[in-house]
Homo-oligomer: A and B are copies of this chain.
């Protein structure tokens, strides 16, 4: 965890969508890569903003009042407390940054909740 990280190589290790892999840390934040395909789950994080940077493909972050469409090289920070639901029609690759311990499904829980796994 103290060497450089090739994000594409890390993404190749992931088995399927919505199973993030932690690739490093920045102070008390985790740096994770994740594949998106299909729709995630509506949720929010009351205690933290939520960072998304698209590395490959295109995603839509659905908010209750609008959609934010992100292409490769575009980032968006979902403010804390704001409900959102990411989706991707085709497989897309994303860098996520959140405080360690942040649960991927936020307040929603459910079967898409994933452990923090280092890859």
| Interface size classification for chain A | 20 to 34
Task: Judge if A117 is at the interface, Cβ distance under 8 Å.
Answer: no
User: Taking chain A's interface residues, is the majority helix, strand, or loop, or is none over half, making it mixed?
Assistant: strand
Number of copies: 2
Chain B residues whose CB sits within 8 angstroms of the CB of A6 once the complex forms: 73-74
A5 touches B48 (CB 8 A): no
Interface residues of A in 62-82 (CB under 8 A from B): 68-70, 73-77, 79-80
- With contacts A26-B97, A49-B26 taken as known, whether A31 is within 8 angstroms of B75 at the C-beta atoms is yes
Q: How far is the CB of A30 from chain B (nearest CB, A)?
A: 11
- Which of B25, B55, B77 contacts A77 (CB under 8 A)? B25
